[in-house]
Amino acid sequence: MLYRLVIRIIKSFLSLFADFSVVNKDKIPVVGPFIVACNHSTWLDTIFLPLAFSPQVIRFMVKQELINNRLFGWFFKGIYCFPVNRERPGSSSIKIPIALLKRGEIVAIMPTGTRDFDAALKQGVALIALKSRATIVPVVYKGPKTIGIKNLFKRAKVEIIFGDPITSGGYADYSSHDLLGQITDLLEKEINRLIR
């Protein structure tokens, strides 16, 4: 399985450059389905996040240009990524992750939609959670924006920190007129709490 091979290679390679730790791993549900909602401030969060979940397999939502790339598309398909059209998001943007979640899988979505530490969260995660009744697991990456040769001599400190899950059973507690906004606000508050 390509996914597990890639995880083993990355884990061995990054151990030379990073002092990596996982905080609050006990907050991860034992089984899926659930949505992993992580801050997206650097490309490194998509590298360390699967390591934190190993041996569980997570499915990343990625821009469709990566899946359609003639040279690298096979790789992203092989590690179970699924596409989203960021320019013209349509029904498939929520249909695919909902179908995966209903099969009991784990789906990773960056709720800002782009690499921006200060960007506001979009409501896609909340909508997918409502439609699938899946739990949302807030996650934060804490570490450098890049890792290089200099870290061979002083390994960078990297943390993946898990927050309190937002369960589907709790959705009934929110007022129906602004359900998406309230769930998104709750997720944003938890991510901000973990970042501090």
Q: How far apart are the first and last CA of the chain?
A: 37
Look up the pTM and report it: 0.87
C-alpha–C-alpha distance, residues 17 and 151, integer Å:
5
CA-nearest of 113, 115, 167 to 141 is: 115
Strand ordering across the sheet containing 135-142: 18-23, 156-162, 135-142, 34-38, 106-109, 58-63, 82-84
C-alpha–C-alpha distance, residues 47 and 45, integer Å:
5
Domains within the chain, CATH numbers bracketed: 2-195 (3.40.1130.10)
Single-letter residue type at 57? V
Residue 42: the pLDDT is 87
- pLDDT in single tens digits along all 196 residues of the chain: 899 999 999 999 888 889 999 999 999 988 779 999 998 888 899 999 999 999 999 999 888 899 999 999 999 999 999 988 877 766 767 899 999 999 999 999 988 755 444 445 678 898 899 889 899 999 999 998 888 787 777 889 999 999 999 986 656 555 555 788 888 889 999 999 998 8
- Structural element, H or E, at residue 106: strand 106-109
